[in-house]
Amino acid sequence: MSGLAALAALPAIWVGRDADYVLETLLDALLSALKADFVCVTLEGPKPKSRIRGRSGVTPAHDQLLRALAGTFGDDKSAWPPAGEISVGADAISILSAPMGLQGEVGVVVAGTRRRDFDDETGGLLLGAAANQAALALQAVRRLDEQKQIASDLDERVAQRTAELARANEALRFAARESREIVDNIPTLVGLLSPTGQVELVNRQIHEYTGRSTEELEKWGMSDLVHQDDLADALDSFVAGFAAGEPFEIVYRMRRHDGIYRWFEGLHHPLKDAEGRVVRWCVSCNDIEDRKQVEDALRERERTWRSVINGIPGLTATLSPRGMVEAVNRQIVEYTGCELEALRGWGSNGIVHPEDMPHVAEIFGKSIAAGASYEIEQRLRRFDGEYRWFSNRGTPAFDASGQVVRWYVLLVDIHEARLVADALRSSEDNARSIVSSIAGMIAVFTADGQLCGGNQQLLDFFEQPLEEVGRWATNGMTHPDDLQYCIDSFMGSIVSGEPYNYETRFKRADGVWRWFNIRGQPLRDASGQIARWYGLLTDIDDRKRAEEALEVSERNLQLTVDTIPALAWSARIDGTADFFNRHYLEYVGKTPEELGGWAWTAAVHPDDIARLGATWNLARETGGNAECEARLLGADGAYRWFIFRANPLLDDAGNVLKWYGINTDIEDRKRAEESLRLSEASLAEAQRLSSLGSFQWRLDTDELTFSDELYRIFEFDTAEPATLEQIAARVDPDDLPLLTEKMELARVGIDDHSYDIRLRMPDGRTKHLRSVSRSGTESDGRRVFRGTIQDVTQRKLSEEALNELRTELAHVSRVSTLGAMTASIAHEVNQPLAGIITNASTCLRMLAMDPPNIEGALETARRSIRDGNRAAEVITRLRAMFRKTTNTSETVDLNEAARDVIVLAGSELRRKRVELETNLASDLPPVMGDRVQLQQVILNLLLNAADAVTDIRDRPRRAMLKTSEDEDGNVRLTVQDNGGGIDPSSSTKLFDAFYTTKASGMGIGLSVSRSIIERHGGRIWASANDGPGASFSFAVPRSPKGYNGGDATAYSAHTQLRPQGEGQ
Amino acid sequence: MTKRLLVTVVDDDESVRESLPDLLKVLGYSVQAFSSAAAFLGSADIENNDCLILDVAMPEMTGPELSVELRRRGYRIPVVFITAHRDYSVPPLVPGQDAVQCLLKPFSEAALIAALDTAIPRN
């Protein structure tokens, strides 16, 4: 390879060099390229030469070789065979030979070796190519030498002539004729031109060649003398050259007398005087037709050769023995974008990667110093600035004395291979540990695809030995659906050398198929041949499933967006909308065009637009989520409430890219909220109006929840949660035991409490509360006590006032009743008074008699005392009836009470001539109540009965009072009359206030009677008799047995609540 | 000695029937007492009465009714009504007729004597 490179580099380094150089470098290159024992070059022509170079010990003597060659192949070197065998001394030597020049006119190149297999195509081709290149170069060298010689001779002679002309005018003309003779005899075409280009003199050869006269020649620029194709260039060069005044040459085809054009090389040389002015131009035209043909042939072959060389993926260069870049091939220039001069600065100008430079410099330096081949991998900068990895190999060429005469350098692009190798090397560095520990499975294949290694993960996955895994294509561990694809992908890469990357399913040891991503990279050896394939198997099953799910989800995305029960939209960062889902469009009944930009705001309720806009603007300023409730006008013309929610889509830097929003219909919720709000408001209002608060008491934590109204009732600070201690401090100390008892009952699970309790407010006010509560269970199972507490202070006060009023009324009623009986009562009192006074008078007169009637006086005195007592009894009864009593509770014997009333009313009844029959039950149980009030009722009934019979004229006026105990254990009293009876339709109104059937009277008697009886827990009613008249009855409960008249409430003392501040 | 004047008391109230006759006797009158009008009418010597003291408010037959009945039967006996009912309607006392005066219980001894003196002129 390096020899080839050296050969390829030869023409570039031969330009402008002499024949010796050409020969030396040719020998070096061939010896290196052909792996020959020796190479010999023999030149023909004016300066015949022959050189030999070879490895010592195997190189025959030069003259001995030449003799053997001539002896074997003949003297005509051009007839020598391309390959053959000769004997030099006792040695049989294989020979390759190539002529230089078409007929070997330049010389011959011979390479020889003792090896038998020397005769190969490559060697012959190389040798032939080298010979051709050398021939071209040597011919150029030779021509150059000739031309130099001619020019040199002419210069010399013209100078002599000029000097002579200057010395002697006469002699000059003679000399010119003589020089004419000389010029005419020069075996080439020569002419002299004036400084302006006019033909002054042409030699005979010109006339003979062209067949034209001097005059005709002068018009060469307008004739067919110069080939039409070359004329323009020739004229340009001619004009330019004359203007420059320096030697120049023009190559063109010149027409021979017979019409044939031949290639000539016109060398123009200026003749200058002492002042340096051009006085003449000497033109020599050399026929180069033959050479041109050779050159064309050689160029053609060289083009072929070049294409071969350029086809080699390498960059070649030659270096001097000291390492200086001497020449580079086209690829280097193309690759680096640098010309030779720049390339020579590779040590410092960055063409070699700076990181690689120390390494390169070291290896290169050592190699140059030692004259030993080197091989470096380094990065080389491409014309576009990218560094690529190259294999840089340098081989020295030695001369016969073993001195390095030249370095041949080949640079091969190994970039891809290097990357792979790097990757593989880095993984191989810690192969055992890393390969085993990486998550993926590693498989190593030979160049032809046979599995030759794998990490533990690989074996563990299949739970199979390596050999079995290697039969992946046939043993069923690859999914049947993927198998053909796998084989195609894998084998395709094995054949092409390209990395492979595909996905397939493998059956795990437990029979589960799992998706894998398989990536393979070839590892190439130094020669670029694939040594191994490294495969990485990555379990992508989860990802695959996610992808499949994603695919499904994406497929459903549009469907989803359109079917989600909400209005979905998106907006650009400036807030203008650019998407609406189907629901949105259907709801507002518009097209996307009608809603786009800001047009969507037209559907927002006017009252909500400002708030929504503010929220939206704020969200866009801050990039945060937005949420706002607003009404949207539907296609049906009705507004519905929606909650607008918008979220920004952010890029990695947190900038908003887009907005996505969902409007959810909350109309129902809104309505529910509204009704809830109304309901809560009305509940609060109701609580406030009814002074009714509600509470909840967690039995486990004693946590209390009070309604607002309850806070007001207790006059607690709403800012702080109510506590049991606060409550205890408010409760009237007299009622604290009651509260304690009720709470204790609640704690032990006794349900359903209803009781009244009093609060003592800090300013001394008393509040009456009624509590109704019941235990319940929270959803979490905890027991709670819920209830209501009503401030009944007003009611209590009202009741008390009413009671007072009733008492007052009863009293008034009683007084008025008694007032109506004044005459009767007065009669009742006056009767005994009359007796007393009469007796007293009698007594005095009996004592005043002479003798005093003592016995009579005593009798009258006794009667006075009796009547006095009788009057006092009446007064006592009356005083009781007139007394204004509050409700007292005592045991009352209704029979006794009735008798007293009969005594009081007796005279009234007598006056009205009502016969009263009494039928009082014996063993009548006592009742609990207010005696006077009960008597008032009895009196009322009696007087009513008397009134009822007043109008009776045709029969005795009768009334009957009877007492009894009824079947319910109540004590009943009935007053029956034989009067006009009652109208059944009015029986229910009889007890209403101000209802009366009498001409006189206010109609409050029965009403008061009813309220009295009801206060005693009884009832009062009227009924018609079987015969004439009516019966009025009342029944009141008998007093409980053993009733002691005290307060029967007993207290439990399990929990004694203490007001705050009382200490522990 | 002159014959004692006969005064009859009719009253349903026992204490009057006990106390008034004793006083009338101390004052020098002969006295009869009846508890009702019917009892008086059923007695033997109505015509011997010089004066009747009748309670106004009595069951069955009131004092004034008795007075009317006696006149209907042809008796002309002076009557002094007594009553504990101040507002009780008493027939008008017509001079020359039977009724002399109506005394309200309790009445004083002097009022009684004056009424009797009016009813029975002493000479």
Give pLDDT tens digits for A187-233.
677 787 888 778 877 888 788 888 888 888 888 888 888 888 888 88
* B65 min Cα distance to partner chain A (Å): 14
Question: CB contact, 8 Å: A854 with chain B?
Answer: no
* A986 min Cα distance to partner chain B (Å): 34
For residue B26, give the nearest of A823, A837, A842 by CB distance.
Answer: A842
Q: Which residues of B touch A838 (CB under 8 A)?
A: 16, 19-20, 22-23, 106, 109
Q: Retrieve residue A154's tokens.
A: 């002419």
Cα–Cα distance for residue pair A225/A228, rounded to 1 Å: 9
pLDDT at A913 over 60: yes
Q: Which of A829, A830, A843, A910 to mutate to test the interface with B (most CBs of B within 10 A)?
A: A830
* A929 min Cα distance to partner chain B (Å): 34
Distance (Å) of CA A961 to CA A77, A879, A916, B38: 183, 23, 7, 28
Cα–Cα distance for residue pair A482/A504, rounded to 1 Å: 6
Average pLDDT of chain B? 83
For residue A834, give the nearest of B16, B27, B57 by CB distance.
Answer: B16
Annotate B21-38 with b (16+ C-beta within 10 A) or e (fewer): bbbbbbbebbbbbbbbbe
Cα–Cα distance for residue pair A17/A222, rounded to 1 Å: 39
Question: CB contact, 8 Å: B110 with chain A?
Answer: no
pLDDT band at A177 (very low <50, low <70, confident <90, very high): low
- Look at residue A543 in the predicted model and tell me its pLDDT: 73
Model confidence over A624-642: pLDDT tens digits? 888 888 888 888 888 888 8
Q: Do A826 and B85 touch (CB under 8 A)?
A: yes
Q: SS3 of A1025, please? A: coil
Question: CB contact, 8 Å: B28 with chain A?
Answer: no
Q: Which of the residue ranges A89-98, A215-224, B31-40 has the most confident prediction, judged by mean pLDDT?
A: B31-40
State the virtual CA torsion across A287, A288, A291, A297 in degrees, nearest 10.
-130
* B106 min Cα distance to partner chain A (Å): 4
pLDDT band at A540 (very low <50, low <70, confident <90, very high): confident
Cα–Cα distance for residue pair A221/A203, rounded to 1 Å: 19
pLDDT band at B30 (very low <50, low <70, confident <90, very high): very high
What end-to-end distance do the CA atoms of chain A give, in Å?
111
CA atoms within 13 A on the CB side of A994: 0
For chain B, domain boundaries: 6-119
- Look at residue B20 in the predicted model and tell me its pLDDT: 92
Question: What is the 8-class DSSP label of residue A1038?
Answer: B
Q: Which residues of B touch A839 (CB under 8 A)?
A: 19, 22-23
In a 10 Å sphere around its CB, with 0-12 CB exposed, 13-18 middle and 19+ buried, how is residue A995 labelled? middle
Cα–Cα distance for residue pair A784/A824, rounded to 1 Å: 67
CB of A347 closer than 8 Å to CB of A439: no
CB of A936 closer than 8 Å to CB of A1012: yes
pLDDT band at A998 (very low <50, low <70, confident <90, very high): low
Give the residue from chain B lying closest to A824, CA to CA: B85
- Look at residue A975 in the predicted model and tell me its pLDDT: 92
* B3 min Cα distance to partner chain A (Å): 20
- Look at residue A456 in the predicted model and tell me its pLDDT: 77
Give the residue from chain A lying closest to B20, CA to CA: A838
Q: Retrieve residue A583's tokens.
A: 């629901």
Q: List the one residue out of A249, A255, A274 whose CA is nearest residue A150.
A: A249
What ipTM was assigned to the predicted interfaces of this complex?
0.88
Kind and range of the H or E run holding A769: strand A766-777
Cα–Cα distance for residue pair A596/A609, rounded to 1 Å: 17
The CA angle A334-A336-A337, to the nearest 5 degrees, is 60
- Look at residue B11 in the predicted model and tell me its pLDDT: 92
Cα–Cα distance for residue pair A786/B54, rounded to 1 Å: 80
CB of A941 closer than 8 Å to CB of A1013: no
Model confidence over A351-387: pLDDT tens digits? 888 888 888 888 888 888 888 888 888 888 888 888 8
Q: SS3 of A1029, please? A: coil
Cα–Cα distance for residue pair A107/A109, rounded to 1 Å: 7
Q: Do A831 and B23 touch (CB under 8 A)?
A: no
Give the residue from chain A lying closest to B109, CA to CA: A841
- Look at residue B35 in the predicted model and tell me its pLDDT: 92
* A913 min Cα distance to partner chain B (Å): 6
* B71 min Cα distance to partner chain A (Å): 24
* B105 min Cα distance to partner chain A (Å): 5
Place of tokens 């005044």: A245
Give the residue from chain B lying closest to A849, CA to CA: B26
Q: Retrieve residue A644's tokens.
A: 């607008």
Task: List the single range of A46-50, A484-488, A767-771, A1018-1022 with lowest mean pLDDT.
Answer: A46-50
Helix locations, A168-246, DSSP H: 169-185, 204-210, 214-218, 228-244
Distance of CA B81 to the CA centre of its chain: 6
Question: What is the 8-class DSSP label of residue B75?
Answer: -
Give the residue from chain A lying closest to B24, CA to CA: A842
- Cβ neighbours for A145, distance < 8 A, ≥ 6 positions apart: none
For residue B22, give the nearest of A826, A836, A860 by CB distance.
Answer: A860
How many other C-beta atoms are found inside a 10 Å radius of the C-beta of residue B119?
21
- Look at residue A150 in the predicted model and tell me its pLDDT: 73
**Average pLDDT estimate for A522-542:** 79
**Average pLDDT estimate for B85-113:** 72
Question: CB contact, 8 Å: B82 with chain A?
Answer: yes
* B123 min Cα distance to partner chain A (Å): 24
Question: CB contact, 8 Å: B18 with chain A?
Answer: yes
Place of tokens 């008795």: B66
Question: CB contact, 8 Å: B111 with chain A?
Answer: no
pLDDT at A793 over 60: yes
Q: List the one residue out of A224, A157, A226, A164 whose CA is nearest residue A192.
A: A157
Q: Do B22 and A830 touch (CB under 8 A)?
A: no
Q: List the one residue out of A768, A738, A766, A737 whose CA is nearest residue A753.
A: A738
CB of A969 closer than 8 Å to CB of A1038: yes
Q: Which residues of A touch B59 (CB under 8 A)?
A: 910, 913
State the virtual CA torsion across B30, B34, B38, B39 in degrees, nearest 10.
-80
For residue A823, give the nearest of B13, B27, B85 by CB distance.
Answer: B85
* A865 min Cα distance to partner chain B (Å): 11
AA letter at A237: S
Q: Which residues of B touch A837 (CB under 8 A)?
A: 106-109
Model confidence over A461-497: pLDDT tens digits? 888 888 888 888 888 888 888 888 888 888 888 888 8
Model confidence over A111-121: pLDDT tens digits? 888 877 666 67
Task: List the single range of A103-117, A872-886, B102-116 with lowest mean pLDDT.
Answer: A872-886
Q: List the one residue out of A581, A545, A538 whose CA is nearest residue A561.
A: A581
Give the residue from chain B lying closest to A860, CA to CA: B19
CB of A958 closer than 8 Å to CB of A949: yes
- Look at residue A790 in the predicted model and tell me its pLDDT: 84
Cα–Cα distance for residue pair B60/A825, rounded to 1 Å: 21
Sign of CA dihedral A651, A655, A660, A666: positive
**Average pLDDT estimate for A20-36:** 80
- Look at residue B92 in the predicted model and tell me its pLDDT: 58
CB of A936 closer than 8 Å to CB of A813: yes
- Look at residue A430 in the predicted model and tell me its pLDDT: 43
Cα–Cα distance for residue pair A565/B96, rounded to 1 Å: 121
CB of A131 closer than 8 Å to CB of A100: yes
Annotate A164-189 with b (16+ C-beta within 10 A) or e (fewer): ebeeeeeebeeeeeebeeebbeeebb
**Average pLDDT estimate for A142-166:** 73
pLDDT at A305 over 60: no
Question: CB contact, 8 Å: A856 with chain B?
Answer: yes
Q: Which tops the pLDDT comparison, A171 or A602? A: A602
Question: CB contact, 8 Å: B88 with chain A?
Answer: yes
Question: CB contact, 8 Å: B86 with chain A?
Answer: yes
Q: Do A842 and B22 touch (CB under 8 A)?
A: yes
Cα–Cα distance for residue pair A1018/A18, rounded to 1 Å: 158
Distance (Å) of CA A742 to CA A160, A544, A722, A785, A878: 156, 69, 18, 12, 47
Q: Which residues of B touch A857 (CB under 8 A)?
A: none
Give the residue from chain B lying closest to A823, CA to CA: B85
Sign of CA dihedral A164, A165, A166, A168: positive
Enter the pTM of the model. 0.35
Average pLDDT of chain A? 79
Q: Do A831 and B105 touch (CB under 8 A)?
A: yes
Question: What is the 8-class DSSP label of residue A735?
Answer: G
Q: Retrieve residue A585's tokens.
A: 């469009």
pLDDT at A962 over 90: yes
Bridge partner list, A53: A39
> What percent of chain A is modeled with pLDDT above 70?
84
- Look at residue A963 in the predicted model and tell me its pLDDT: 93
pLDDT at A176 over 70: no
Model confidence over A1048-1059: pLDDT tens digits? 333 333 333 444
Task: Name the CA radius of gyration of chain B, rounded.
Answer: 13
> What percent of chain A is modeled with pLDDT above 90?
2
Indicate the class that CATH gives domain B6-119: alpha beta
Cα–Cα distance for residue pair A261/A948, rounded to 1 Å: 178
pLDDT at B31 over 90: yes
Bridge partner list, A539: A516
pLDDT band at A817 (very low <50, low <70, confident <90, very high): confident
The CA angle A922-A925-A929, to the nearest 5 degrees, is 130
In a 10 Å sphere around its CB, with 0-12 CB exposed, 13-18 middle and 19+ buried, how is residue A971 labelled? buried
Q: Which residues of B touch A910 (CB under 8 A)?
A: 57, 59
Helix locations, A440-525, DSSP H: 456-462, 466-469, 480-496
- Look at residue A115 in the predicted model and tell me its pLDDT: 75
Given the DSSP bridges, would you call strands A567-571 and A199-202 parallel, antiparallel or unpaired? unpaired
Model confidence over A394-427: pLDDT tens digits? 888 777 777 887 787 778 777 776 776 665 555 4
Q: Do A845 and B88 touch (CB under 8 A)?
A: no
* B60 min Cα distance to partner chain A (Å): 8
Place of tokens 């009338």: B24
Binding-face residues of A in 797-836 toward B, CB within 8 A = 823-824, 826-828, 830-836
Task: List the single range of A84-93, A707-716, B10-19 with lowest mean pLDDT.
Answer: A84-93
Q: Retrieve residue A512's tokens.
A: 């589960």
Q: Do A835 and B19 touch (CB under 8 A)?
A: yes
